[in-house]
Amino acid sequence: MNRILKKRVLAPAVKLIEVENPFIAAKAEPGQFVILRVYEKGERIPLTISDYDREKGTLTIVFQEIGKTTTLLGRLEEGDRILDLVGPLGKPTNLENLQRVVVIGGGLGTALVLSQVKEMHKKGTRVDCIIGARNKDLIILEEEISPYCENLYIATDDGSRGHKGFVTDVLKKLLDEGNRYDRAIAVGPLIMMKVVSNLTRQYGLPTVVSMNPIMVDGTGMCGCCRLTVGGETKFACVDGPEFDGHLVDFDEVIKRTGMYREEEKLAMELLQRSLEGGL
Amino acid sequence: MAESKRKPNLAKTKVPMPEQDPQARVKNFEEVALGYTPAQAVEEAKRCLRCKEPHCIDGCPVNVQIPEFIRLIEEERFVEAYHKILEMNNLPAICGRVCPQENQCEKLCLRGEKGEPVAIGRLERFAADYAASLPENGGKPAVRDSQPKGRVAVIGSGPAGLTCAADLAKAGYRVTVFEAFHTPGGVLVYGIPEFRLPKSIVQREIENVKSLGVDIQTNMVIGKVLSIDELFAQGYDAVFIGTGAGLPDFLRIPGENLNGVMSANEFLTRVNLMKGYRFPEYDTPVKVGRRVAVVGGGNVAMDAARCALRLGAEKVYIVYRRSEEEMPARREEVHHAKEEGIEFRLLTNPVRILGDDAGWVRGMECVCMELGEPDASGRRKPLCKPGSEHIVDVETVIMALGTTPNPLIARTTPGLELTRFGGIVADEATGQTSREGVFAGGDIVTGAATVILAMGAGKKAAKAIDEYVTAKRQG
Ligand SMILES: Cc1cc2nc3c(=O)[nH]c(=O)nc-3n(C[C@H](O)[C@H](O)[C@H](O)COP(=O)(O)OP(=O)(O)OC[C@H]3O[C@@H](n4cnc5c(N)ncnc54)[C@H](O)[C@@H]3O)c2cc1C
Ligand SMILES: Cc1cc2nc3c(=O)[nH]c(=O)nc-3n(C[C@H](O)[C@H](O)[C@H](O)COP(=O)(O)OP(=O)(O)OC[C@H]3O[C@@H](n4cnc5c(N)ncnc54)[C@H](O)[C@@H]3O)c2cc1C
Ligand code: SF4
Ligand code: SF4
Ligand code: FES
C-alpha cells in the first residue's frame, strides 16, 4: 500500500506521482483530496486527487514543491512508500445536469481539475478550459486535458504561450463574446480564484472554487480549515473543499494561510541546510 | 500473610504522590506526577481494609477487583497485581493516571468516610508501570490460536474501541480496528497531554492489546473509505462504533476566524499527536502568543492552558462564564493549573475578539457575569452584568467549549437512530443500536465523558456482541 508506482516531473518543482491505494481508489470522486504524511516526524498535508484508476487501484497526485513536506515528497522515488495516506476526504464535486461549463485552472490548477473535466466529458457536458501559468514551461498536463475539452485556451504572464496576461482576460473575452455557461469552475491560487469570482459575479455566472486552507485532520475535528462563506463559518475539509466563489471571504482565507509563514520558512531553511550537508 | 498479623495503615491521608516541582515542570512536557516507589505503594496498600462488601468495585465501570489487586501489592506480588487488574481492565497504566477516581472507585471507598479514600488509581498505575519496567511486560497475556468465533470490525481506537476489541479478542474473535488518524489511541494520543499521560505509555498499552491478536488499521476513515454496510459485505459479523465526540464547538462571536484563535482540539492535536512542542525537530508548527486566553472550564481547558504555559506563554488565563464551583474539570487538574500560575478569570464571558490589520488577535472583549437561577443542567445560569465590558489583552485564544459527535458515519449508515445532539442511540446495557449487528459506545453515545465510562461501554458491548454473534452463528 501507498507505494509510488510512477513519478514524472511536469515542470520545475511540479511533480506527478501515481500511488497504489486500492481502498481510496475505489471510492475517490472528482473534487476530493487525501491527507498524507511523508515520514515519522512529518506534517499532515492535503493534496487533491488529480485522477484515479479503480481497476489498477491507484491515485494520481500532482504537487508543487513549495515547502518542507512537498520537497520531501518530491524526493521519494518510484518504489518508495508514502508513510500515511488517508482519504478520500471532502465532498465530491456535483457535476450533474451541466450543459456547458468553463473551467479555469491557474498554475497547478490544471492538474486539480483533470478528473472533473474527464467526468464532465463522460456525462456529455461541453467544457471550455482556460489554463494559466507564469510562462510556457509551467503549463502542465495540456495533452492530458485537451481531449476532454471543446476549446482549450492558454494564458501566460509573459506571453511565451497563448494570450499574454491573466486567465481572467480570456474569460472576460469569452463572456463578452456571448458565450453562455451554466457554471465556472476555478481552481488555482487564492488570488486567481478571487479575481475570477469577482468577474463572474458581474456576469451572474455561478462559480465554484476549490479552497485550500491549512488543515490538520481533514475530518472536521480541529476547525483549522474554517473559512467564512456567505457570513457563516464552514470547515473546508468536510463542508468543502468546493464553495460558491461569490460567497467566500477570500481576504480572510488569504490571511489565514499565512499564519505559519515564519515557521514554514524556518523548516525549509533547516531542510535545505541538511540536504546540502548531506551531499 | 495471616489476617491476624496484618496491621492496616490507619493514616487519614494517602501516601503523597511524588510530583515535579511546579517551577520546573512548567518548562517541560515531562510527566507531572512521578508515581509511587514500591515502598510507597506497599505503604498505601496497607490502608485498604479488605472490606467484605467492597463498594469501591461498584464505582468502577469495568469492575476491577480492587481489594484483591491491592492485597497483592501489599504482599509485594506486583506482577500478579498487574495481571489481576488486567483481567478486567485492558488499559491500567492509562486509567491509573486519568480516571476521575474521586467520582468513581475512590468515591465509594470506605476509608473515604473518615479522611481520604485509598489511592486506588495510584496503586493501579504503580502495578502497571512496575510490570512494564520488566522484560516482556512481566509476561504477555496468552493469545488464542483456535478457530475464531467470528469477525468483528471496531471503528475508532479510543478507549471504547480498544476495550471492546481487546475483550472480543480474549473471547476468541478476529477483530480489526479501523482508525481515522495515523496513530491509534483517540483522545489518549491527540487530546490528553504528555505531561499527564506520556504517549509511550499509551503506546505500550496499545501494543498489549495488539498482542492479543487485534489488528489495527490506521488511516481508515469509515464513512468515507468504507461504509458500515460494506464492512458487513466483507464478512464482518458485527460492528462496534466508538468514534468519540470529536467536533469542536465555537462561540460564534465576531472575530473567531482571526489568526491566533483555535479550537482546543486543533491546539492539542498539534501539540500532542503531531508533537508540535518539539518543532522544528517535528514539522508541525504550533504558535502561542505572549498572552493566551483559554475559554472554558473543563479538563480540556486545563490541558490547553497548561500546554500553552509550557510552550512559553508568559500569561495564561482561563476564562469561564460560571464560578469555580460549576467548573467541570477535575479538582486535581484545577489545583495543578493554579500551582503552575494560570490565572482564573471566572464569571467572565467573551463577546468579541479584536484583530489587527494583518488579521491577528490583539485582544478579547469580555463581560462579567453573575449567577442566576439553576438551569436545565442544574447549574446556576450565568447572566450578563450590564456595563461590565472590558478587554483582556491576549494574542492567542483557545476555545475549549465542548465537542459533538462526528456525523461522518451517521450520514453514511442508513437506519442508524440518532439523538438530538447527533449522538448514536444505543442501549445502555448492551450498546445495541437501531441497526442489527451494529453496537456503539463511548463519547459517540454519551457525548464527551470519561475514559473509564468509554471503556465500560466497550466492555459491555463486547459481551453483547459475543452473545449476538454466537446466537447468529448457531441459528
Ligand atoms: C483541499 C486541498 C487540496 C490541495 N491540493 C493540492 C494539490 O493537489 N497539489 C499541491 O501542490 N498543493 C495542494 N494543496 C496545498 C498543499 O496542501 C500545500 O502546498 C502543502 O501543505 C504545503 O506544505 P509544505 O510543507 O510543502 O509547505 P509549507 O512551507 O509548510 O507551506 C507553504 C504554504 O502551504 C500552505 N500549507 C502549509 N501547511 C498546510 C497544511 N497542513 N494544509 C494545507 N495547506 C498548508 C500554507 O498556505 C503555506 O503558506 C491543497 C490544499 C488543500 C487544503
Ligand atoms: C483534552 C482532553 C482531556 C481529557 N481528560 C480526561 C481525563 O483526565 N480523564 C478522563 O477520564 N477523561 C478525559 N477526557 C475525556 C476522554 O478522553 C473521553 O471521554 C474518551 O477518550 C472517550 O473515548 P472514546 O473511545 O469514546 O472516543 P475517543 O477517545 O474520542 O476516540 C475515538 C476515535 O475514533 C476515531 N474516529 C472518529 N471517527 C472515525 C471514523 N469515521 N472512522 C475511523 N475512526 C474514527 C478518532 O480518530 C478517535 O481516534 C479528556 C478529553 C479531552 C479532549
Ligand atoms: S479503572 Fe478507574 S475507576 Fe476502575 S478501579 Fe481503576 S482507577 Fe478506579
Ligand atoms: S472500599 Fe476502600 S477500603 Fe474497602 S476494599 Fe475497597 S479500597 Fe479497600
Ligand atoms: S482540517 Fe481539521 S476540521 Fe478541517
- pLDDT higher than threshold 70 for residue B285: yes
- Which residue, B157, B206, B141, is CA-closest to B454? B157
User: Which pLDDT score, from 0 to 100, does residue A115 have?
Assistant: 87
Mean pLDDT of all residues belonging to chain B: 93
b/e code B80-101 from CB counts within 10 Å (16+ = b): bbbbbbbebbbbbbbbbbbbbb
Q: Which atom of ligand 2 is nearest to the CA of B220?
A: 43
B397 φ, ψ to 5°?
-130, 125
Q: Is the CB of residue B287 less than 8 Å away from at least one CB of chain A?
A: yes
ipTM of the complex: 0.94
Cβ contact B219–A266 (<8 Å)? no
- pLDDT(B394) > 80: yes
What is the pLDDT, as a whole number, of residue B421?
A: 87
pLDDT digits (tens, 9 = 90+) for B71-96: 999 999 999 999 999 999 999 999 99
CB of B100 within 8 A of CB of B450?
yes
Per CB-CB distance under 8 Å, the chain B contacts of A256 are 257, 259, 359
d(CA B228, CA B221): 11
Q: Is the CB of residue B410 less than 8 Å from the CB of residue B224? A: no
pLDDT digits (tens, 9 = 90+) for A175-230: 999 999 999 999 999 999 999 999 999 999 999 999 999 999 999 999 999 999 99
- In angstroms, rounded to a whole number, what is the distance separating the alpha carbons of residues A226 and A215? 9
pLDDT for residue A34:
97
Q: Does B262 touch chain A (CB under 8 A)?
A: yes
The verdict on the CB of residue B105 being under 6 Å from ligand 4 is no
Q: Which cell numbers hold the place of B80?
A: 500478579
**Pocket lined around ligand 2, Cβ cut-off 6 Å:** B 98-100, 155-161, 178-181, 186-187, 191-192, 220-223, 242-244, 246, 268, 299-300, 303, 406, 408-409, 442-444, 448-452, 454
Q: Which three cell numbers stand for residue A157?
A: 504572464
User: Looking at beta carbons, which residues of chain A come within 8 Å of B229?
Assistant: none
Give distance in angstroms: CA of B103 to centre of ligand 3.
10
Whether A13 and chain B come into contact, CB under 8 Å, resolves to no
Residue B25 CA to residue B341 CA, distance in Å, equals 11
pLDDT value of position B371: 86
The alpha-carbon radius of gyration of chain A (Å, integer) is: 18
Question: pLDDT of B13-66, one tens digit each?
Answer: 999 999 999 999 998 999 999 999 999 999 999 999 999 999 999 999 999 999
Looking at every residue in chain A, the average pLDDT score rounds to 93
As a whole-number percent, the residues of chain B with pLDDT over 70 amount to 97
Is B138's pLDDT higher than 80? no
Between A55 and B146, where is the model more confident?
Answer: A55
The pLDDT value recorded for residue B128 is 95
**B270 closest CB neighbour out of A84, A216, A258:** A216
Check residue B226 and give its pLDDT.
Answer: 95
> What is residue B133's predicted lDDT score, i.e. its pLDDT?
86
CB contact under 8 A, A23 and B281: no
Residues whose CB falls within 8 Å of the CB of residue A222, separated by 6 or more in sequence, listed in order: A215, A216, B248, B263, B265, B266, B269
Considering only CB atoms, B247 lies closest to which of A41, A221, A270, namely: A221
Residue ranges and CATH numbers for the domains of chain A are 3-89 (2.40.30.10), 100-257 (3.40.50.80)
Provide the b/e sequence for A87-126 (b: ≥16 CB within 10 Å).
bbbbebbebeebeebbbbbbbbbbbbbbbbbbbbbeeebb
Confidence label for B136 from pLDDT (cuts 50, 70 and 90): low
What is residue B135's predicted lDDT score, i.e. its pLDDT?
Answer: 74
Residue B377 reports pLDDT greater than 90: no
Judged by average pLDDT, the poorest of A50-54, A236-240, B7-11, B121-125 is B7-11
What pLDDT does residue B145 have?
59
Q: Which of A33, A211, A221, A259 has most ligand 5 atoms within 8 Å of its beta carbon, as the pocket-test mutant?
A: A221
> What's the confidence (pLDDT) of residue A218?
95
Chain B residues close to A270, C-beta within 8 Å: 280
SS3 A177: coil
Q: What is the DSSP letter of B15?
A: P
Digit-coded pLDDT (tens) for A103-129:
999 888 888 888 899 999 999 999 999
Rounded mean pLDDT, A147-167: 92
Position B3 pLDDT exceeds 60: no
User: How many Cβ pairs within 8 Å bridge chains A and B?
Assistant: 108
For B228-280, what is each residue's pLDDT tens digit?
999 999 999 999 999 999 899 999 999 999 999 999 999 999 999 999 999 99
Residue-level pLDDT at B140: 54
Inform me whether the pLDDT recorded for B297 exceeds 80.
yes
Provide the pLDDT confidence category of residue B155 given band limits of 50, 70 and 90.
very high
**Nearest-Cα residue of chain A relative to residue B227:** A27
| H-state helical runs in B269-413 | 299-310, 331-339, 408-412
In the block, which residue shows the cell 514539522? B283
pLDDT in tens, B235-246: 999 999 999 998
Rounded CA-CA distance B229/A121 in Å is 31
Task: Tell me if A43 and B274 make a contact (CB, 8 A cut-off).
Answer: yes
B182 touches chain A (CB under 8 A): yes
Q: Establish whether residue B109 lines the binding site of ligand 4, counting it when its CB lies within 6 angstroms of any ligand atom.
A: yes
